[in-house]
Amino acid sequence: MKAETNLVNSVNLKTNLLYIPLVIVLLLIPLGGEYITYLTGLALLFGIAALSLNVLLGYTGLLSFGHALFFGCGAYTAGMLVKHLSITSIEILVPTSIITSVILALLVGIVCVRHTRIYFTMLTIAISQLFYALAHKLRPITGGDDGIRIYSTHVFGHEVASITEFYYYILVAFFLCLFCLRIILRSPFGLTLQAIRDSELRARFAGISIIKYRLAAFVVSGLFAGIAGSMYALFLGQISPDDVLSVMRSGEFVAMTLLGGYTSFIGPIVGSFVFTYLKAVISSAALYWYLVFGILIVSIVIFVPTGLMGEIEKRRRTG
């Protein structure tokens, strides 16, 4: 896969200003009621996860179909700390999730990044399925297929009272992640990743250690997915292997990224919003969500392979 667009410079100052109204809308979302707040919270968390997936897909050209592993790692780290140690403070849970996700991503990454293309994809499926099967069966530790319930969470000793309050924590986390990823991917590190993606051979001639860079990308990717998973567990108050660790969840992250556009930095977030709202609308209307979802993916792949943002940015450049 070659995306010959530069993911970094495609957004200039003028478009940065365009984001200000969007930020204001996000801040005012709770005015729309609890359900809208809940949905937007989900979209933001999935947005972080899809964005982290795109560190691999968009910047290194590696398709992970097991990204729920790190999302689930974050979620289960938080869940198990609550279940076994009765720790409910977000300021402890989320950093711990970051640590476990980084360790897991490092271990899994060492194995995975030596492979590319379909072998990489297969390996990510296999490893995530292994953990999925374990989470299912190790009932005393993980709660089996019932999963884990989290009844209350605290921030610096204060109990989180409402969805709205938690929504603002998510919003803060979201912008922090966005900001960090932006800096990471704009750095020489991000540019090197793109160089490797576009021509491994040329990058190698330039003296770049390809494996090391891919591993670093893998860890960055796992880290942010872990944050998203951890916050997701606390936001929902309920996790299960099928919800946070399954290959279906991994596939959804891929679909969001594809939908929004893997060639655009902001694409996966757009994808996650469209995905989350569309799913809510169609499911609530008792229509066939999977049919719509499937047709959507097929049409995107055939007609707009660079996704919504890819198409928008292309039109902006040409017209």
Partner 1 sequence: MISQIVNGLIFASILFLVATGLTIIFGILRVVNFAHGSFYLMGVFIAYSITRFSSEPALHLAAPFIAGFVAGVVGIAFERGLLKNVYGRGELFELLLTYGMIFVFMDIFRILWGSMPVSDPTITFKLGIISLGGTMIPLYNIYLILIAAVLATFLWFLLSKTKVGMVIRATSFDSEVTSAFGVNVSWVYALTFFLGCFLAGFAGGLMLPVTGAWIGLDVDMLILALVVLVVGGMGSIKGALVASILIGLIRSFGISMFPAIELAIVYLIMIVVLIVKPSGLFGGAEVES
Alpha-carbon dihedral sign for residues 164, 169, 173, 179: positive
Cβ-based neighbour number of residue 210 at 10 Å:
19
274 sits near partner 1 (criterion: CB under 8 A) = no
- Of 1 and 27, the one with the shorter C-beta distance to partner 1 is 1
Using CB under 8 A, which of 248, 281, 283, 284 touches partner 1? 248
List the one residue out of 159, 139, 157, 160 whose CA is nearest residue 148. Answer: 139
Residue 106's H or E segment, with its range, is helix 90-112
148 sits near partner 1 (criterion: CB under 8 A) = no
Q: How far is the CB of 50 from partner 1 (least distance, A)?
A: 14
118 sits near partner 1 (criterion: CB under 8 A) = yes
Q: How far is the CB of 116 from partner 1 (least distance, A)?
A: 10
Long-range contacts of 79-85 (CB under 8 A, 24+ apart): 79/143, 79/147, 79/148, 79/150, 79/233, 79/239, 80/141, 80/142, 80/148, 82/148, 82/150, 83/143, 83/148
305 sits near partner 1 (criterion: CB under 8 A) = yes
Residue labelled with tokens 């609308």: 281
251 sits near partner 1 (criterion: CB under 8 A) = yes
Do 216 and 189 touch, CB atoms closer than 8 A? yes
- Of 27 and 130, the one with the shorter C-beta distance to partner 1 is 130
134 sits near partner 1 (criterion: CB under 8 A) = yes
210 sits near partner 1 (criterion: CB under 8 A) = no
The residues binding partner 1 (CB under 8 A) are: 1-2, 63, 111, 115, 117-119, 121-123, 125-127, 129-130, 133-134, 136-138, 247-248, 251, 254-255, 258, 288-291, 293-298, 301-302, 305
